[in-house]
């Protein structure tokens, strides 16, 4: 699978979703509609918004995608800017992680990350 997201620590329980739009791996996801064919509908989370989890891999619209979730779980999320260790993060553009400014805090960085790199994020 392309762009697969392998968790760092995994105490949470994963689910599967059906992508309502193309999804890129290692991005924050939101619930984007009603359950479809037994799976929740998911898409990249809105900037500053809440999250349902993180995509495990790339998926085309209509395909099934794994969703990494769970409080205190550490997983990779693509950084859209530099993030300092232990900084709280929120959703930036296209479901990427950015340092929290005015949006909903969705986790914190376990270690520093540079823009464009995979950040290790402990999920709330």
Residue 34 confidence (pLDDT): 92
Number of neighbours of residue 18 by Cβ within 10 angstroms: 21
Query: How far is it, in rounded angstroms, from Cα 80 to Cα 71?
Result: 22
Residue 6 confidence (pLDDT): 77
User: Using an 8 Å Cβ cutoff, are 119 and 108 in contact?
Assistant: no
Residue 47 confidence (pLDDT): 98
69 or 6, greater pLDDT: 69
Q: Average pLDDT of 30-52? A: 94
What share of residues in the chain are helix, strand, coil (percent, to 5)?
0, 45, 55
Residue 10 scores a pLDDT above 70 = no
User: Closest Cα to residue 111, out of 122, 120, 98, 100?
Assistant: 120
Q: Where are the domains of the chain?
A: 15-68, 74-123
User: Using an 8 Å Cβ cutoff, are 50 and 30 in contact?
Assistant: yes
Task: List, for residues 54-107, the tens digit of each pLDDT value.
Answer: 999 999 999 999 999 989 899 999 999 999 999 999 999 999 999 999 999 999
Residue 78 confidence (pLDDT): 98
Confidence of residue 7 (pLDDT cuts 50, 70, 90): confident
Angle at 99 between CA 83 and CA 73, to 5 degrees: 80
Q: Which residues contact 110 (CB under 8 A, 6 or more apart)?
A: 8, 74, 85, 86, 120, 121, 122
Whole-Å CA distances, 74 to 4, 11, 19, 35? 15, 9, 23, 26
């Amino acid at each position: 699978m392309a762009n697969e997201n392998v968790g760092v620590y995994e105490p949470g329980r994963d689910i599967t979703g059906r992508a309502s739009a193309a999804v890129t791996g290692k991005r924050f996801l939101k619930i984007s509609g009603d359950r479809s064919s037994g799976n929740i509908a998911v898409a990249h989370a809105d900037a500053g918004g809440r999250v349902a989890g993180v995509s495990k891999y790339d998926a085309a619209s209509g395909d099934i995608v794994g969703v990494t979730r769970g409080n205190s779980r550490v997983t990779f999320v693509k950084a859209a800017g530099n993030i300092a260790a232990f900084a709280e993060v929120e959703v930036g553009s296209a479901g990427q992680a950015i340092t929290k400014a005015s949006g909903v805090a969705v986790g914190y960085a376990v270690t520093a990350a540079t823009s464009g790199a995979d950040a290790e994020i402990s999920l709330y």
